[in-house]
Structure 1
Amino acid sequence: MPTRIAPALPPFPPAIQETLEKIMPPGVPPLSLFTTMARDERLFGKFFAASLLDRGHLTLRQRELIINRTTALCRSEYEWGVHIAFFGARAGFSAEQIEALVHGTPQDACWSVEDSAVLQMCDALHRDCNVDDDSWQALRVHVGEEAMIEMLMLAGFYRTVSYLTNALQLPLESYAMRFPVRTATREPQ
């Protein structure tokens, strides 16, 4: 299905072009999400002001667990696939973990105790817009208070990104991964 709002086309205003050059790897065209946001310089600026892909309080693995679980739960194949393609290997995700991010549970055997705690937080936020005390304490063993705040913000931001990518019906990027097919050994949720 076609995108609901056409992306902006180059040349972009200087501030937008500068941002795109900073965030995209050399030789990789800007994501459709970014060029769609570039239709409005104010909204583009607001979107990138909320970015949490810098070196904050989280490890790359923690950050990508949150982004990929949140976008999978929101069924944003667009954003999930971009993040798995760019960061999945760097975050150390195995093929089993990549499948589990989409079809599994935080209790799957492929996850460490810390990974499981991060994923439980994502699932609770998605389901209840809150984190129960047991899940909070399980995560608190592994990270500090500032990291907890960043995790909540990151999950919320990528829920917003999922709204955008899904509702705009953005076409999947050619290099992005697709949601894996559920293996026959995994029971449906």
Structure 2
Amino acid sequence: MSRIAPLEPPYAPDIREQFDRIMRGAPPLVLFRVMAGNARAWEKFRAGSLLDRGPLSLREREIVIDRTCARTGCEYEWGVHVRAFAAAAQLTEEQVRATVKGAADASCWSAAEQALIATVDALHARATLSDAEFKTLSAHYDEAKIFEIILLCGFYRTVSYLANGLDLPLEATAARFPT
């Protein structure tokens, strides 16, 4: 069980509406139920979130999110994303595994995808990009996409802190880290 108890149904009408909008009718994730129990935290989480469609393709977005969650050891959020989006993002089993176990330059990735993964790794390790890393990233992505990549890394690091720090139980239907 989570260190902070999640909301249980029945939910207040405004919370139910927010869950339905985010989850598109599916049951809300434990993360959302825990966050919604604290009105200020839930409001800030939703206001600062990147749950909308941005300038990246679904595939690019999921590579960044999956790698960020893997690097932070957040099996909870990694598993939710892999289960929900890996197939739609056309990530192969090898690529899904590589988000956790592979090097940035693994041959299963295109050059642009290698730049994404190297960016996540650099931001995770040093919270910055060298000039060479930025040059490599900008060879494949425009400014709007670069902002989105960096924002996604930061946001999903925060999500990982929440899931790991609150010791959220893994969602029953989510994927698990490869062994």
In proportion to residue count, which structure has more helix?
2
Amino acid at match of 1:79: E
Counterpart Cα distance in 2 of 1:81 and 1:141: 30
Structure 2: state its 5+ residue gaps.
none
Letter in 2 for 1:111: W
Aligned with residue 166 of structure 1, among 137, 160, 164 = 164
Q: Which amino acid aligns with 2:46?
A: F
Residue number in structure 1 paired with 2:106: 108
* Inter-partner Cα distance in structure 2 for 1:167 and 1:177: 20
Tell me the distance in 2 between the aligned counterparts of 1:91 and 1:133: 30
Contact 1:16 1:41 in 2 (8 A): no
Q: Which residue of 2 aligns with 1:22?
A: 21
In structure 2, what is the equivalent of residue 139 of structure 1?
137
| Residues 28-86 of structure 1, C-alpha deviations (whole Å, 9 max, x = no match) | 21000000001112211110112213221111111111100000000000000000000
Gaps of 5+ in 1: 182-189
Summarize the alignment of residues 2-151 of structure 1 with structure 2, pairs less than 5 Å apart: 2-26=1-25, 28-151=26-149
Q: CA deviation at 1:132?
A: 1.1
- Looking at structure 1, the residues matched to 41 and 2 of structure 2 have their Cα atoms a distance apart, in angstroms, of 18
Rounded to whole Å, the distance in 1 between the matches of 2:129 and 2:65 is 17
Cα distance in 2 for residues equivalent to 1:20 and 1:169: 21
Q: Name whichever of 161-170 and 46-55 sits farther off.
A: 46-55
Letter in 1 for 2:11: F
The CA RMSD over aligned residues, in Å, is: 1.0
d(CA) in 1 for partners of 2:92, 2:2: 32
| Alpha-carbon contact 1:66-1:122 (below 8 Å) kept | yes
TM-score by length of 1: 0.91
> C-alpha separation between the residues in 2 aligned to 1:61 and 1:53?
15
Tell me the amino acid that sits aligned with residue 13 of structure 1: A
Shift of 1:11: 2.6
- Output the TM-score relative to the length of structure 2: 0.96
SS of aligned partner of 2:61: helix
